[in-house]
Amino acid sequence: MTVLLTICCVGLLGYGMRAIFIVSLAKLSFPPLALRLLEYVAPAVMGALVMTMLTGPEGALAVGIPELAGLILAAVVVARTRNVLAGLLAAMGIFWLLRHFLS
Amino acid sequence: MTQSPIKKAVLDTLTLFVPAIPFALVFGIAVNESGLPALLGWSTSPIMFSGAAQITLVTLIGEGASLAAAATAALIVGARHLFYSITLAPRFQDQPRWFRWVGSYMLIDQVFALTVTLENRDPNYFRRYYLTSGISFWTLWMSFTGLGLFIGPIIPESWGLAFATPVLFLGLLALAIDRWEKVVVAVVAMVVTLVLADLPNRSGMLVAAFLAILIGLILERIRR
């Protein structure tokens, strides 16, 4: 019961974080500099999120050669094709291959 | 001729969702290992609708952290949505009021990544595309996190399926980059997150995102 309550609280606050600016800034006009600055949000936040996922709980980089090769290949493939699925298949392919030969 | 927003949204959603399937399975494993009842664990899908925050919450509860600590960590992981909200706010200005409230619920990483780069500026096109993508992701995420509860635990760990999750988000990052200044900003965000990895509750990622956006501001100043 208390777990469900916690989930609901997190869900409600999470919704609030998504809605706050969309709802409250509906009438505000954004200066051009602010609009240009907002373009950097996606690369900044996604970059931070990817690195958070790669660093283990103790803060050490939990990534070996197969992972690194997979990540680099994924970035190159997605940048060229704009297709995340193609990037994933390439990354998992080289990851499994290298892991097989390096172990 | 412009493609119908609904057809384009469904296609874009499917190519982004397939890479998220392993993520749904990883979630299923996390629920299983946490010892929570399956239905209670799954309830985070409709209530929170945020994969990374759901996994954080469920994992920490399973590890015996206090509910308050688990909730705090999940909220910090979810705080990036504040950035998404402010970024899309200008595009929601010429939209009906109901859509601002409903659209906010669907503001997940993938929907953000797809709509922030949308070139068609027509408000109706934006709304149809956003809703189609949001509803499609929602339906798929509810189904596959449900399946993940059963399939996730029987997949051998040696497959290394968990690696698909950072790859997925790196893919979303690559989609968000269309000029070199954004590469610099992304690299700064990654390096700062790595340096601050020891901060409690993974809060380093928020500091890193802030700093990286500031670097973007400096780059804009230099360019002009």
d(CA B162, CA B177): 25
Of B78, B97, B103, the CB nearest to A17: B78
| Conformational region of residue A64, where left means phi above 0, alpha means psi within -120 to 50, and beta covers everything else | beta
Per-residue pLDDT of chain B (224 residues; tens, 9 = 90+): 567 999 999 999 999 999 899 999 989 999 998 999 999 999 999 999 999 999 989 988 988 888 998 898 899 889 899 999 999 999 999 999 999 999 999 999 999 999 998 888 899 999 999 999 999 999 999 999 999 999 988 998 888 888 888 899 899 999 989 899 999 999 999 999 999 988 877 788 889 999 999 999 999 888 77
| Residue among A7, A26, A95 whose CB faces B160 most closely | A95
Instruction: Please give the residue of chain A at the shortest CA–CA distance from B78.
Output: A14
Is A63 or A48 the better-scoring residue by pLDDT? A48
Look at residue B162 in the predicted model and tell me its pLDDT. Answer: 83
Q: What is the mean pLDDT of chain A?
A: 89
Q: What is the pLDDT of residue A102?
A: 86
Q: Determine the pLDDT at residue A28.
A: 86
pLDDT, residue B105, reads 98
Contact (Cβ atoms closer than 8 angstroms) between residue A46 and residue B176: yes
- pLDDT tier at A57 (50, 70, 90 boundaries)? low
List the single best residue of B77, B163, B210 to mutate versus A (max A Cβ within 10 A).
Answer: B163
Q: Over the stretch A77-96, which tens digit does the pLDDT of each residue have?
A: 999 999 999 999 999 999 99
At residue B2, the pLDDT reads: 66
Q: A55 forms bridges with which residues in the sheet?
A: A61
Model confidence at A60, pLDDT cuts 50, 70, 90, reads low
Residue A36 pLDDT class (50, 70, 90 cuts): confident
Indicate yes or no: CB of A37 within 8 angstroms of CB of B16: no
Instruction: Please give the residue range of the domain that contains residue A60.
Output: 31-102
Higher pLDDT, A1 or B143: B143
> In Å, how far from its chain's centre is CA B183?
20
Contacts 24+ apart (CB under 8 A), A68-76: A69/A94, A69/A95, A69/A98, A70/A94, A70/A95, A70/A98, A70/B163, A70/B167, A71/B166, A71/B167, A71/B170, A74/B167, A74/B170, A74/B171, A74/B174, A75/B170, A75/B173, A75/B174
Judge whether A11 lies within some domain: no
Of residues A13, A43, A52, nearest to B75 (C-beta): A13
Residues β-bridged to residue A61? A55
Q: What percent of chain A has pLDDT over 70?
A: 93
What confidence category does residue A61 fall into, taking pLDDT thresholds of 50, 70 and 90? low
Residue B64 confidence (pLDDT): 83
Does residue A50 form part of some domain?
Answer: yes
Does A21 reside within a domain? no
A-proximal residues of B, 148-187, CB under 8 Å: 160, 163-177, 181-183, 185-187
Query: Taking a C-beta distance cutoff of 8 angstroms, is the pair B45, B24 a contact?
Result: no
Asked whether the beta carbons of B170 and A74 are under 8 A apart, the reply is: yes
Contact B193, A55 (CB under 8 A): yes
Which phi and psi (to 5°) does residue A61 adopt?
Answer: -70, 110
Please check whether residue A69 lies inside any domain of the structure: yes
Question: SS3 of A69, please?
Answer: helix
The reply to whether A11 touches chain B by the CB within 8 Å rule is yes
d(CA A93, CA B146): 27
B27 part of contact set with chain A, CB < 8 Å: no
CA atoms within 13 A on the CB side of B48: 29
Weakest mean pLDDT among A10-14, A59-63, B216-220: A59-63
**Residue A53 is assigned to a structural domain of this protein:** yes
Residue A42 domain-assigned?
Answer: yes
Number of domains composing chain A: 1
Average pLDDT over residues A62-67: 86
Output A67 or B162, whichever has higher pLDDT. Answer: A67
CA torsion, ordered B88, B89, B95, B100, to nearest 10 deg: 90
Residue A7, domain member (yes or no) = no
Residue A66 forms part of a structural domain: yes
Query: In this predicted structure, what is the pLDDT of residue A38?
Result: 87
Residue found under tokens 């993940």:
B148
CB contact under 8 A, A45 and B61: no
Is B102 in the A-facing interface, judged by CB distances under 8 Å? no
